[in-house]
Amino acid sequence: MGKIKKFTNAEEHMNFGNLLLAKNKYAEAAKYYKQALKLNPNHARAWGNLGAVYKFLNKLPLAEESLKKAIAINPNLPHLFYNLGIVFEEQKHIRKAIVNIEQAIKLDPDFKEAINHLFLLRRQICDWGDIDKLEKILDEKDCDTPFSSIMRQGDPAKNLATARNWCQKLEKTIPGQLFTFDIAERKKNNKVRVGYISRDFRKHPIGQLVAAMFDYHDRSKFKIQAYAYGVKDDSVYRQMIEAGVDNFVDLAPMGDLEAAQRIYHDQVDILVDLTGHTGENRMAICALRPAPVQVSWLGFPGTSGAGFFDYAIVDKTLVPQSHVPFYSEKLVFLPRCYQVNNNKIVISNKRYTRQDFGLPEKGIVFTSFNQTYKIEPVIFGIWMTILKRVPGSILWLWKHTSEAAENLKAAAAYAKVDPKRLTFSDKLSKEEHLKRMALADLGLDTRIYGGHTTTSDCLWAGVPVLTKMGNHFASRVCASVLTEALLPELITHSLKEYEDKAVYLAHNPKVLTEIRRKITHKHLQKNLYDTGGFVKDLEKAYLSMWETLKA
């Protein structure tokens, strides 16, 4: 960037910084906010926006410092407390995050984004004390996002209504059709250009799932592009993705329009969004319609509710025919599980014992390494009943935060289960995590928002997973994975059946051992982890989409 434009006052610098911020030009925007603060050190909004820029640049201590200065100058702006809460969350200071977001709501009781985020934070640390009251407020003030909806609502009709409402608001910000496509001319090409767009081409469950698949695309029929807008890391997944595609483009420095223009310029025929309604998505890029065919897949377990996605990729376990009306997209049913898996995932050769992780040498070890926000009072109550019915058993969980661990221990005590029967483990590398998972006897899926990558990981580690198949996409993924792995005996259809099956397997080790014998890499590579076979089916779907498109 050249010299800073000369403005006469702080407000002009501030406004120009805002224009740059809207275009994702974070470093440049910071220069103008700093210049505004030189002219007016007490400009609260300039400090606040500088804090937001630092947050986007992942300079969290500087973001915290700037936002605190803004609040000291003007403690009556709710968005300052909200943004500070987000910065604390990024730093894993969840209690501080909650305090600040609650203050934002106190200043503005109708701050929908803050109310929704407070709900997410409470779920993240398993603080269920007044969660029913908070959910009532979510309903009364219409604060649901598509993500919170699938977390708490097992009703696909409600999921669709929430997603459609959110996308309609987004679509109103789009200035009409900006791009035109000469389909007849494009179809003269002997290769279909497929572009995958995601914020998660990194150390992330999505990055893990897709990392190996790009190598399997048939380059005689397809040209494969990847468009990233998330944080770049040096993970093996990022390296595999960059090496596996024909062209890797970093959209992070670009605004939404510039990013869409780049995709259009690259003449992408089929744009596949792998993020959906998950955190810090940039669905606005897809809303600008830079490709003639646009597809929603993998990142978000539900309908997008968007008019700008033509297709969603699913399977028959995920979406029974009676649920088809609850999707805004035309559904493409793969003849296998919709979730691709990485057949190149390596398991550590370290030797672990149960003692290494504080697990009992004897007794059944149940496990659920799902994200803590997926755990809610009903399923946790079932888990506690299972522990009571299986003497000597324990439940092994991921220690997302110390707050979540303490709250779950308290919930166990309230259920009259010794909190010592809950064991928590910190994160390890994926290779080491898969190795330690093999120490468990049986995985227990969550209820409303079930396991996805976690279920695949468990099976790759040789551990069976028990699920209760629900009524919406997010609660049926585990069943889809188990169906593909030829393990239908681990799918239940009521909470009572789920509880009884867990207890039965715990009391019948021969049956459990027989199931475990089926879960070998050799077996899984013929179905769930047949990455090459999956890509062939995916390519058939792409070709059908492209051939169906009329010139």
Q: Which of 6, 29, 45, 46 is nearest to 255 (CA)?
A: 29
**Quick one: pLDDT at residue 551?**
66
Domains of the chain and CATH, by start: 10-142 (1.25.40.10), 183-343+531-548 (3.40.50.11380), 354-524 (3.40.50.2000)
pLDDT given at position 1? 46
Segment holding 198, helix H or strand E: strand 192-198
Compute the distance between CA of residue 390 and CA of residue 218 in angstroms, rounded to an integer: 51
Least Cα distance to 54 among 17, 13, 105, 107 occurs for 17
User: What is the enclosing helix (H) or strand (E) of 491?
Assistant: strand 491-492
**Cα 97 to Cα 8, 120, 125, 499, distances in angstroms:** 37, 11, 11, 35
The answer to whether 402 touches 325, Cβ cutoff 8 Å, is: no
At residue 8, the pLDDT reads: 84
Per DSSP (E only), the strands in 213-316 are 222-228, 247-250, 270-273, 293-296, 311-314
Question: How far apart, in whole angstroms, are the C-alpha atoms of residue 522 and residue 525?
Answer: 5
The answer to whether the CB of 515 falls within 8 A of the CB of 490 is: yes
Cα 192 vs. chain centroid, distance in angstroms?
A: 28
pLDDT for the residue 2: 52
Residue 403: count other Cβ atoms within 10 Å of its Cβ. Answer: 19
Q: Token pair of 236, please?
A: 């093996």
Cα 42 versus chain centre, distance: 39
CA neighbor of 79 nearest in space, from 54, 123, 110: 110
What local confidence, expressed as pLDDT, does residue 3 receive? 64
Angle at 511 between CA 510 and CA 512, to 5 degrees: 90
Inter-CA distances, 365 with 394, 396, 423, Å: 5, 7, 10
Burial of residue 188 (number of CB atoms within 10 Å: 0-12, 13-18, 19+): exposed
Tell me what pLDDT residue 7 has.
Answer: 86
Residue 423 DSSP class = E
Q: Retrieve residue 384's tokens.
A: 């506690």
End-to-end CA distance of the chain: 43
Nearest to 440 by CA among 503, 498, 476, 396: 396
Which of 264, 267, 283, 284 minimizes the C-alpha distance to 275? Answer: 283
Residues 273, 299: contact at Cβ < 8 Å? yes
Q: How long a stretch of residues is the chain?
A: 551
Q: What is the pTM of this model?
A: 0.95
Cβ neighbour number for residue 186 with a 10 Å cutoff: 16
Cα angle, residue 404 at apex, residues 280 and 162 outer, rounded to 5°? 40
Render each residue's pLDDT in the chain as its tens digit; 551 residues.
456 777 889 999 999 999 999 888 999 999 999 999 999 999 999 999 999 999 999 999 999 999 999 999 999 999 999 999 999 999 999 999 999 999 999 999 999 999 999 999 999 999 999 899 999 999 999 999 999 999 999 999 999 999 999 999 999 999 888 999 999 999 999 999 999 999 999 999 999 999 999 999 999 999 999 999 998 899 999 999 999 999 999 999 999 999 999 999 999 999 999 999 999 999 999 999 999 999 999 999 999 999 999 999 999 999 999 999 999 999 999 999 999 999 999 999 999 999 999 999 999 999 999 999 999 999 999 999 999 999 999 999 999 999 999 999 999 999 999 999 999 999 999 999 999 999 999 999 999 999 999 999 999 999 999 999 999 999 999 999 999 999 999 999 999 999 999 999 999 999 999 999 999 999 999 999 999 999 999 999 999 999 999 86
Q: Taking the CA atoms of 13, 14, 18 and 20 in sequence, report the sign of the dihedral they define.
A: positive
